[in-house]
Amino acid sequence: MTDDTGIGSPEWVELLSREMRKRWSAVADRTEQMAGHALLAPGKMLRPVLLLNSAEATGGDSAQLLPAALAVEYLHVATLVHDDIIDDDRLRRGRPTVHAEYGMADALVTGDFLILNMVTSLSECTAVPPAAVLEAARVLAGAGSDVCRGQVREAEMAGDLSCPVSDYQEMAALKTGALFRGACRAGAVLAGATGEHADAVTRYAEHLGVGFQIFDDLLPYLGDSTGKPATSDVANLRPTHPVLVGHEVADDHARQRFAEALSGRLPAESHALMRELLIATGALERSRQRAAEEIAAARGSLDGLPGAAAVEQMRAIADLAIDRSR
C-alpha cells in the first residue's frame, strides 16, 4: 500500500507529529510500544491534514479536532502494518516494519489495536456534539471497510492483464480513495458542515485518491522512487494503471510481452521490460494525463467553499500528489 512521504502542510504536520510523540513515546506496555513503533516513523500525516483542512474549508474550526485527525492516521497506519505482513515488506519509512521487528503474531495484533484506537481517539472529541462524532466514526469505519474491499479486489486482480481499466479505477477508489474520502468527510461532519459542503470535500477526496494512486503506479517507472522498491508491483503481479492502459492498446505481439513482464519471473528484468513497453505504447504518458485530470477535478470540486486558506492548502496537496519531487 501507498505511503505518503513528500506531501503535507508543514505547520499541521509538525503539530500532529508532536501530539503523536506525546501520546506514543512513553508507553505502558509492549502493545503500545509496537503501536508507537509504527506511528512514530516520520510520515507526512496526509490524511489527518486533510481532515483538519476539510473542517476549515467547509467553514468550521479545526482546533478541537486533533484526536479525530490522529484517529484517521491510526486507521491508515493499521492498514500499512497489516499490508506489510501480507507483502512481507521488511522496511517502511526507513525503519524495520512492525512484523520485521516484533514478529508476525504481534504485528497482526498491533494493527487490530490501532484500528480500535481509532474509535477511542475519536471519542475524545468531547467539544463536538456526540451525534457528529458518531457520524464521523461511521464514516471512517465505512472508509476502512472499503479499504478492505479494495485490498481483496486487488488480490483477485493479481496477474490479470485483461482486467478493464474501469475495474482498476473502482478498486483504487476503494483501496486508496476511501481513506481520503473518509478523512475529508469526517472533517466536514465534525465541523458541522452543510451537506453540500461535505459533498464537495468528499468529491475532492475521491478524485484526489484516484489521481494519487495512478501517480503512485507511475512512480516505479519515472526513476524517482519514494522508497517503494521499484520492482515491487511487477514482483507482486499487480496490473497497475499504466500496465492495464498499455495492455489495452497493445497489439498481439506486445500483449505477449506484457504477459511475460507480469509473469513473476526475474523481477528486475521484468521491470525493465515493462518500462520499455509502457513507453512504447504511450501508456506512461496516458496514465500521467489521467492522473492530472483527476487532480484538476479534485481542485475544481472545492469551488465555492467558505474557508479560502484551507481550500488553497487542499489544492496545493492535490498538486503535490502528482509531483512528489517537490
Query: Taking Cα atoms as reference points, which of 171, 116, 120, 119 lies closest to residue 148?
Result: 171
* Identified binder of a copy of itself from the candidate list 47, 82, 290, 324, rule CB under 8 A: 82
- 95 forms beta bridges with 92
> For residue 260, which amino acid is it?
E
Decide if residue 315 touches a copy of itself (CB under 8 A). no
Neighbour count for residue 93 (Cβ, 10 Å): 16
CB of 150 vs a copy of itself, minimal distance in Å? 9
Q: Which of 91, 127, 155, 249 binds a copy of itself (CB under 8 A)?
A: 155
Q: What angle do CA 305, 306, 311 make, to 5 degrees?
A: 60
| CA–CA gap between residue 16 and residue 22 (Å, rounded) | 10
Stretch of 92-100, 135-143, 214-222, 283-291 lying at the interface with a copy of itself (CB under 8 A):
135-143
Compute the least distance from the CB of residue 119 to a copy of itself, in Å: 4
The whole-angstrom distance between residue 53's C-alpha and the CA centroid of its chain comes to 17
In angstroms, what is the minimal distance from the CB of 209 to a copy of itself? 18
Task: Pick between residue 70 and residue 284 the one whose CB is nearest to a copy of itself.
Answer: 70
Name the segment binding a copy of itself (CB under 8 A); options: 118-126, 161-169, 211-219, 297-305: 118-126
Contact range with a copy of itself by CB under 8 A, out of 133-141, 215-223, 283-291, 305-313 = 133-141
Which one of 79-87, 204-212, 263-271, 302-310 is the stretch in contact with a copy of itself (CB under 8 A)?
79-87
Please identify, using beta-carbon distances, which residue of 29 and 251 lies nearer to a copy of itself. Answer: 29
Q: Residue 164 interacts with a copy of itself (CB under 8 A)?
A: no
CB of residue 70 to a copy of itself, shortest distance in Å:
14
Which residues contact residue 286 at a Cβ distance below 8 angstroms, ignoring those fewer than 6 apart?
242, 245
8: cell is 503535507
> Is there binding between residue 159 and a copy of itself (CB under 8 A)?
no
Q: What is the nearest approach in angstroms of a copy of itself to the Cβ of residue 243?
A: 21
Residue 283, exposed/middle/buried by CB under 10 A (0-12, 13-18, 19+)? buried
Query: What three-state secondary structure class fits 27?
Result: coil
135 is a contact residue toward a copy of itself (CB under 8 A) = yes
Q: Does 64 bind a copy of itself (CB under 8 A)?
A: no
Q: What is the CA radius of gyration of the chain?
A: 20
**What is the length of the chain?**
326
> What phi and psi, each to the nearest 5 degrees, are found at residue 92?
-150, 125
In degrees and rounded to multiples of 5, residue 96 shows phi and psi of -60, 140
Q: Is 238 in the site for a copy of itself (CB under 8 A)?
A: no
- Kindly report the backbone phi and psi dihedral angles of residue 240, in degrees, each rounded to the nearest multiple of 5, phi listed first: -80, 180
Q: What is the phi/psi pair of residue 91, to 5°?
A: -130, 145
Q: Which of residues 31-50 bind a copy of itself (CB under 8 A)?
A: 31, 34
Question: Looking at 8, 43, 60, 111, which residue binds a copy of itself (CB under 8 A)?
Answer: 111
List residues near a copy of itself by CB under 8 A.
29-31, 34, 78-79, 82, 85-86, 104-106, 108-113, 115-120, 123, 129-131, 133-135, 137-138, 140-142, 144-145, 148-149, 151-153, 155-156
